Amino acid sequence: MKLKLRSIVGASIGAFVLSIAAAGGANAISSSGTAYFDNGQPITANMWIQSLTAGTCGSFSSSAVMNVSPNYITNNTKFYQIGVGGISVSGVSASQVGGDPANLTWTNSNGARGSYMSGNVCGGWGMLYLGADVSASAFYYGNYRVATAHV
């Protein structure tokens, strides 16, 4: 009975590690999502991040993009990890949301069509997987739309 339990636990952990490897690909993972304004204009959220292993750091890039000029466009990038330890981000110019170093936001205005972030991110010492959510939002012709991407 105990042996069976151990086998199940071992199999679960093994399957989990395999799934991470599959999701992570060889070097990087990326995702994008699009929402639309009433007149059909799209707003797109993009995320690209290097695959990381425990205690290592890698590059990331995220963006909120439109084809036309909104009143403002915001890129909110929030990192998360499965595992233990703190996430740290460096080399990026953005504001922390609520004092959270893994939750960053940047708004471009005055007709800018995009808001971009790139830098380095390090996972915690017990990290098994590090991912991110990007929320691209814009105010355009009196309407607010949000597009998201998740890795």
Q: How far is the CB of 125 from other proteins (least distance, A)?
A: 12
Residues lying near other proteins in the complex (CB under 8 A) are found at 2, 5-6, 9, 13, 33-35, 38-40, 69, 71-72, 74, 78, 80-84, 94-95, 103, 105-111, 126, 128-129, 131, 133, 135, 137, 139, 141-148, 150
Q: How far is the CB of 50 from other proteins (least distance, A)?
A: 18
Q: How far is the CB of 23 from other proteins (least distance, A)?
A: 11
DSSP state of 54: T
Residue 125: CA count within 13 A, CB half-sphere = 0
Name which of 61 and 130 has its Cβ closer to other proteins.
130
Name which of 31 and 50 has its Cβ closer to other proteins.
31
Name which of 61 and 102 has its Cβ closer to other proteins.
102
DSSP state of 85: S
As a whole number of angstroms, the distance between CA 40 and CA 79 comes to 30
Q: How far is the CB of 8 from other proteins (least distance, A)?
A: 10
Q: How far is the CB of 56 from other proteins (least distance, A)?
A: 17
26 CB-near residues (< 8 Å, 6+ apart)? 51
Name which of 61 and 127 has its Cβ closer to other proteins.
127
Angle at 132 between CA 46 and CA 83, to 5 degrees: 160
Q: Give residue 99's region: left, alpha or beta (phi > 0; psi -120 to 50).
A: left
Residue 22 dihedral angles phi and psi, to the nearest 5°:
-65, -45
